[in-house]
Amino acid sequence: MSDPRGSAARLCSHLHAQALHYLLFAYRGRQALRRRPTLGGPRWPAFGLAGDEVALTVDDGPHPQWTPALLDLLDRHGIRATFFLIGDRVRERPDLARQVRAAGHVIGNHSRSHPQPFAALSPEQIRAEIAHTQREIEDATAITPRLFRAPGGNWSPTVLRTTAELGLTPVDWTVNPSDWRRPGTARIARTLSRTRPGQIMLCHDGGGDRSQTIAALAEVLPRLTDRGLRFVTVPGETPDVAR
């Protein structure tokens, strides 16, 4: 027999997480209009960079088809990105995680299984999702990630506190083309083309067909570099920690 109080508590947690999601969605919209996005810290995620560079971040991999395709594209343009990997997918394809690292990109933690809404999980579940992925990435690559992105950007005081306790820097984004929805190459490219100095771009190489994302980035990356924008990885990583 189910516990009515437990069910009510789970519903409250879910509704609270959803409310945070929409508040953060509005906040990101304001960040995109600011001349300088918020840099963040241990108690608030970074929405932008301190300098005039831009950062490309890639979520939800690694994927056996789209991650190698994206790595090839980035290599052709001499661009380094920040890949937020999912622990279960790293366990399935540790070789791909090693390829990302060997290509000179930064690897961040994106939870074990990408549950949503992430902030609705219990504190114990949140910690387990993050800690598990740390171990999977360490086992695969012999480095310890220093960056964390909450699934769906669903932050809460508990998520941020746990992130800090585990020695990770929380990272959000400024420019979101919603490429995971597959809105069309032209729409993805149009949104990414608006990227300005100091902003963090969000794209995906996992979770579905990412051919539109690859095609859009093939158009946009040279366009942005021609404008004089320089790509960097998200700050926050410390030197590699071998196990």
pLDDT tens, the chain, 243 aa long:
556 665 565 656 666 666 766 677 788 888 888 888 988 877 789 999 999 999 999 999 999 999 999 999 999 999 999 999 999 999 999 999 999 999 999 999 999 999 999 999 999 999 999 999 999 999 999 999 999 999 999 999 999 999 999 999 999 999 999 999 999 999 999 999 999 999 999 999 999 999 999 999 999 999 999 999 999 999 965 433 322
Which residues lie closer than 8 Å to 157 by C-beta, 6 or more apart?
none
Would you say residue 233 lies in a domain? no
* Residue 242 covered by a domain: no
In a domain, residue 236? The reply is: no
Within a domain: residue 234? no
Report yes or no on 180 lying in a domain: yes
161's enclosing H/E stretch is helix 157-165
Q: Domain for residue 232, yes or no?
A: no
CATH number of the domain bearing residue 213: 3.20.20.370
Sign of CA dihedral 89, 95, 101, 105: negative
- Phi/psi at 20 (5° precision): -60, -40
- Per the structure, the count of domains in the chain is 1
User: What residues act catalytically?
Assistant: 59, 204
Q: Which amino acid is at 157?
A: P
Instruction: Kindly list the strands in the beta sheet with 200-204, ordered across the sheet, starting from the edge strand earlier in the chain.
Output: 169-170, 147-148, 106-109, 82-85, 55-61, 200-204
Domain membership of residue 58 (yes or no) is yes
Question: Domain of 51?
Answer: 4-226
- pTM above threshold 0.85: yes
Give the type of residue at 204.
H
